[in-house]
Each structure stands twice: as C-alpha cells, then as structure tokens.
Structure 1
Amino acid sequence: MMTVALIIPARNAGAHLDRLLPALTAQTLQPDTVLVVDSSSTDDTVSRFRQFGARVEVIAAQQFNHGGTRRWASEQVDADALILLTQDAIPASPQTFANLIQELEEDPRIGLAYGRQLPHPGAGILEAQSRHFNYSPQSRSKSLADAGELGIKTCFSSDSFSVYRRSALQAVGGFPEDVIGSEDAHVAARMLLNGYLVRYAASACVQHSHSYSLMQEFRRYFDIGVFYGREPWIREAFGTAGGEGKRYVQAELRALRDAGQLQRVPEVLLRSALKLLGYRLGHAEQHLPTPLKRRLSMFSNYWT
C-alpha cells in the first residue's frame, strides 16, 4: 500500500478549522504524515494544528510562493503519495482521501489526481455555478492526446485538493520554484508532456468555493494572465481555452434564469469583462511598472 503525506499551506486558517479538523479526523484513510506550512499566522492556526497532531513549520509570510513553498514542503516528507489541500477545502465525506488514492492507483501512468470541488453550504448562485461548470460528476483520465479536444483544459488541475505520485513528481522536476500561481497546471502540463496521465477523480469530493468581489476576480485573472504569459510553452503544447469563456458565461446566464434572477445579468457581463481585462493585462505585465503590478495582483508579495 502507498504511504501518504498530507500537506496543507495555511495562513490565519482559524475560521475554517471548526469544519476542517473534524473532517480530517473522520477520514477512513488517515495520512501517515500531516505537514502544515504556516505563513506566520496571527490567529490560533499554529496551536490548533499542533493540538490536532500535525507537524507545523512556520515561514515568513513574504517567503510564501505557490510553487516554491509546495516544492519545499514536498521535500520535507517521505511518502509515496502527497495529498495537497488548502485550508478552506473541506472533505465532503469520510471516504474523500480513500477515494482520491484509489483513483490515483487505477493506472500506474497516472502522475496526479485532483478531486471534485463542490460549493460550500450557503454558496451563492454564481459561486455554485463555477463549481458545477468546472467539476463534473464523471471521472476522467487526461493525456496529451486530449489536447485537440480540451485545449488548455487538458492540463487543468487544482492543488486545492489533489494528490501527486511522488515518483512522477520527481521525474518531472517537482514543483516550480517561483510562480505567481497555477503551479498545479505547470506540473500537470509537464507530466502530460512526459507521458503521464492526469486524473480527474470525481469520487473524491471537497467543499471549496469562493465568493469573489469584482475587483478580486479582476486581480485573480491578472495573476492567471501573468502565469500563462510567462509560460508560453504551455499554450504552444496545449493550445488555448477556445470557446471556454463563452460557454462559462452562457452557463452563468442559464443559472440566473433558472433561479429567477435575470436582474443580475449586467453583473455577469461586467464580471466577465473584468476577467478578460485582467487576463490580458497580466499577459502583458512585462510592459507595466512593478508598483502597478503589485496593486493589480491578488498575490502582491510576489512582486516584492
């Protein structure tokens, strides 16, 4: 059987721990190691995770990097499979971890698997629609041959809840040292190019969703644009998102119609325009001054 390590990056996670810690305790598959990398929380995150029994390593908040911190954390544990979980992703059933590992083990060519994300209880219509659009109820293994059908979505993955086969992760060089985000897509793309499969594990569910403001959405897509602008090899290998944005907006409009909230259509159109603007600005970030990039980014420490 695989040995399993659970890695959780955290910062001021207290608001989530009342749900997260009981959900972790209830898992039928318990990790052999739990490592929390805390970015200098100012609440009781560190003490509560230590009381839970986790090993907690504290780093300076400015030291956190989506790729580099996960790379460092992966080197601190010795396990065959590395489960990555964010502090606000709550396992939806006691079988969540077991199902994720089971889907990883279905084929030795699978280098990583990422789970299904469901909306948090009480999530709004658009927040929930985002989860339903991106996370279907059917599992699927993706290979490089799927790029013609899926485009850039071929290397879609999410480290909000995922598991890496350690041998495959090491074979492709591990997590990138320095990225503004999307380290999951970076590793997935390298695995696909090296002949591995990426598994979407729909049987392994967490509750994870966000209610972003218009400006948060803009900043998030600015960072995504920065990532893909700096990693042109991904686009060259897998293509673009094609009509994915249009399909997403159409799905949002249908969700509003079904909920009798068509008065929110202007919000959807404005939000979509801000996403596109943010992405394009991020893609052209080399032409922008650093102080402006710091203001436009959701991850301002990246530009320090």
Structure 2
Amino acid sequence: MSAVIRAYNEGEHLGRLLTGLERQTVAVDEVVVVDSGSSDDTVAIARAHGCRVVPIAKEEFTFGRSLNFGCDAAKGDLLLIVSAHVYPVYETYVQHMISPFDDRDTAIAYGRQVGDHRTKFSETRIMRKWFPEQSIRNQSHPFSNNANAIIRKDVWSQLRYDEQLTGLEDLDLAKRALSLGMRLDYVAEAPVVHVHEETWSTIRNRYRREAIAYKRIMNEEQFSAREAVFLAGVNIMSDYYHAVRHGELLGHLIDIPSFRVAQFLGAVEGFRTDPTMSQSLLRRFYYPDLRRPRSTADLGTPIDYADSTGSNL
C-alpha cells in the first residue's frame, strides 16, 4: 500500500500527517509526496520522514494531473490519497480504510473528515453532512473526496483522474467507476482532521472552482440563482439554530452568513454558464443537515501529536 500526498507549501501541516501515518497499527509501505514547487520546508520534511518526492511544475499543476503523477510513481496495489493538511485521529485509521477492500468489487473508499478549533462553524456543519457518523457500504451516488480516500491502483490505471478539471476529480472518477459497476464505500471509522484556514475570497473561489468542474461532470437537473439564494438563507438559519443549541451564537453571528454567502456566490459564479446539477448530489453539497448527531463506537487509540513536526494545534 502506498500513500499519495499532494503538497504545496505545507510545511506547517505535513509533519503532523506523516507522524500520524507512521503510528498506524497497519503500516503504509511507502509515501509519495507530489510537490508543486514549494518554497518552504515541505520537501525537507517529506525527505526527513523517508518519503519519495515527485516534483510537478507549477505551470503543469492541476488537481488531477498531480494525483496522476503520484499514483503513477506509487508501487502499492492500494493507493491511500490524503491531503497534506489532514491528519488521522486514531492509530487504527489505515486499518479501517483498507477494510472495504476485502471485497474484490470495492474500487474506491473514502473516509470521514472532521474539523478542529480553527474550522469555521458552517464548514463544521458541512463536514457533518458530507461525512456522517455511519458508514455506507456500496454507496449509490458518486460523492467522494480525495482529502481522505483510497483506490485500487488497477482501477486508477484504467480510469485515471481527469487532468483538465478545476476540481472534483474524485467525483468524476467515482462517477465513471460506478457506471462500470464498481463499488464505492464510505468509511466513517477512519476519520481525519481536515485543517482549513481560508479567507472569504478563498472560500468563494474554492466553491466557484468546484462548481465549474461540477457542471462539466454532471448534466441532469437545474440549479438556478434563485435556488442558490434560497439555500443560502436556509443554511444560514440552520447554522444559527445549531449555534444557539450549542451556546455558540455570539461567536458566530458574522462568520456564519459570511461563509454561506461566499459558498453560494462562488457556486452561482461557477454554474451560471451551465446551470445544471444532479439533485441527489445537490442535497449532499448544499442542503442543511437536519439530523441530530449520534455517538460512535470506540474507534481505537487517539494519536498524540504533541511532539510531532507541524503540531501547532
């Protein structure tokens, strides 16, 4: 099994992820870091942890192309794909991520993502919607996320990531895999903390970029500007409701509407030239999560990152 990590100036975070991978109950055989021209100590940290560094020029970078570089270089039969700014919560993370592949029909799996104290309130709500506390076996829709995913190398070799997309290369490949009768699983027992420290303009651009990719991948139901305004309002009210329930409203009066406006403004900008979206995935991406959280079973021993490089928690 190989881990493939895309990185650009991730010196603050990469060491923590690599430490987490080193402390797993099931070992990763190799780690491939695809670096797109970092100017900080990203490459030095990767090499200090024994990683193989695969460079890609900035001008050649796309999300899909960088992953193809890394997957091509990787030697494992299973490819664990993780963002450089995530880190596993438990020592059993890899053990749980590979468990769906006992079934030969499983082609792709993706794991849970949670936030930390730096995560904006609305994004925490999104993560709870996208990454619920219960696993999904043989998922019927192609939602997946390469911040925390795993794929068979032979499946990647057959399908490869689209190098022209501005994002959502994971969704695109999963959609093609499902169309061929392959299986996609969600593994709630393999959580990572996903660190997002973004400005409002960065959030807006992220959702715009992903919407541009989405309209190329999916072409079913309509997603209008009016619906985006409605959903922004519904999500703001839902976020406020949950902030009140948790006694956190005063601390999030401004950032909740700011996040949702950036999210839906970016989405509208990305979709306005081709307003189409699958309704099942629209609900996954944009509708508020009205479910109450449920407790999970004991997932293993939490990893202590206090002495790891890049452990500014």
Measured against the shorter chain, the TM-score band is: 0.7 to 0.9
Letter in 2 for 1:60: A
| Greater percentage in helix | 1
2:26 to 4, 29, 38: 29
Cα distance in 1, alignment partners of residues 96 and 22 from structure 2: 16
* TM-score of the superposed pair, with normalisation by structure 1: 0.79
| 3-state SS of 2:137 partner | strand
User: Quick one: structure 1 residues 210 and 96, their matched pair in 2 at CA, closer, same or farther if it must change by over 3 Å?
Assistant: same
Contact 2:142/2:171 (CA < 8 Å) preserved in 1?
A: yes
> Could you say which residue in structure 2 is the equivalent of 1:134?
130
Structure 2: 5+ residue runs without aligned partners? 275-313
Contact 2:109/2:149 (CA < 8 Å) preserved in 1?
A: yes
Cα distance in 2, alignment partners of residues 18 and 73 from structure 1: 19
Deviation at 1:43, TM superposition (A): 1.2
Instruction: Say if 2:263 is the partner of 1:282.
Output: no
> Could you say which residue in structure 2 is the equivalent of 1:86?
83
> Could you say which residue in structure 2 is the equivalent of 1:151?
none
Letter in 1 for 2:105: R
1:180-203 residue CA offsets vs partner (Å, 9 max, x unmatched): 111000111111111112111111
Structure 1: 5+ residue runs without aligned partners? 147-153, 287-304
* TM-score of the superposed pair, with normalisation by structure 2: 0.77
Cα distance in 2, alignment partners of residues 135 and 32 from structure 1: 27
The aligned runs of 1:150-189 (5 Å cut-off) are 154-171=141-158, 173-189=159-175
The aligned runs of 1:1-304 (5 Å cut-off) are 4-105=1-102, 107-143=103-139, 146=140, 154-171=141-158, 173-231=159-217, 234-236=218-220, 245=231, 248-249=235-236, 251-262=238-249, 264-265=252-253, 267-284=255-272
Cα distance in 2, alignment partners of residues 85 and 214 from structure 1: 24
| Greater mean deviation of Cα atoms: 91-100 or 127-136 | 127-136
Deviation at 1:266, TM superposition (A): 5.9
| Greater mean deviation of Cα atoms: 215-224 or 156-165 | 215-224
- Percent identity reads 26
Structure 1: which 4+ aligned runs deviate by more than 6 Å?
Answer: 238-244
1:125-150 residue CA offsets vs partner (Å, 9 max, x unmatched): 3343232222111100244xx4xxxx
1:200-226 residue CA offsets vs partner (Å, 9 max, x unmatched): 111111111424332222111111121
Cα distance in 1, alignment partners of residues 207 and 199 from structure 2: 12
| Greater mean deviation of Cα atoms: 50-59 or 206-215 | 206-215
| Greater mean deviation of Cα atoms: 23-32 or 261-270 | 261-270
| Greater mean deviation of Cα atoms: 25-34 or 197-206 | 25-34
| Greater mean deviation of Cα atoms: 6-15 or 240-249 | 240-249
Question: Cα RMSD between the aligned structures?
Answer: 2.6
Deviation at 1:72, TM superposition (A): 2.1
Aligned length: 269
Which is bigger in relative contact order (C-alpha 8 A, separation at least 6)? 2
